[in-house]
């Protein structure tokens, strides 16, 4: 089953929004140890990425026949979605374990786990 892990935290908290690019000659991204651990458990990392800051967001709504476009996120909240991973694993328990071991969760952020609706 596929699950989306939504990484949530404060954009201004660098410890919750790990930098995806290695620092130094032999450094690796902070998520690589997590990815190796998940692979060893049989969890497949299908896709994932860090998102641009909410200042780059565009919100689109429909109001009757009018399309409303606004700069920025829809809701003013303290926490934002920082990135996502799509994993494939046996069940919700395994997805919860994967989320609990993610670097964002270990750094004090929140990881929301959502089943991906199977395509028809």
User: Could you give the CA distance from residue 95 to residue 81 in angstroms, rounded to a whole number?
Assistant: 18
Strand partners, 84: 6, 49
Domains and CATH numbers, the chain: 2-17+30-115 (3.30.70.1060)
Q: What is the pLDDT along the chain (120 residues), one digit of tens a residue?
A: 999 999 998 887 655 545 455 556 677 888 899 999 999 999 999 999 998 888 888 888 898 889 988 887 666 667 788 899 999 999 999 999 999 999 999 988 899 999 999 875
Long-range contacts of 36-43 (CB under 8 A, 24+ apart): 37/101, 38/87, 38/98, 38/101, 41/89, 41/94, 41/97, 41/98, 42/89, 42/90, 42/94, 43/87, 43/88, 43/89, 43/94, 43/98
């Amino acid at each position: 089953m596929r699950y989306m892990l939504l990484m949530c935290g404060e954009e201004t908290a660098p410890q919750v929004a790990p930098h995806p690019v290695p620092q130094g000659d032999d450094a690796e991204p902070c998520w690589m140890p997590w990815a190796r651990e998940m692979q060893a458990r049989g969890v497949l990392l299908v896709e994932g990425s860090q998102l641009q800051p909410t200042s780059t967001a565009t919100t689109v709504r429909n109001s009757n026949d009018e399309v409303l476009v606004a700069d920025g996120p829809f809701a003013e909240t303290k926490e934002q979605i920082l990135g996502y991973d799509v994993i494939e694993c046996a069940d919700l328990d395994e997805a919860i374990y994967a989320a609990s071991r993610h670097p964002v969760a270990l750094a004090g952020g929140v990881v929301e786990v959502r089943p991906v609706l199977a395509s028809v």
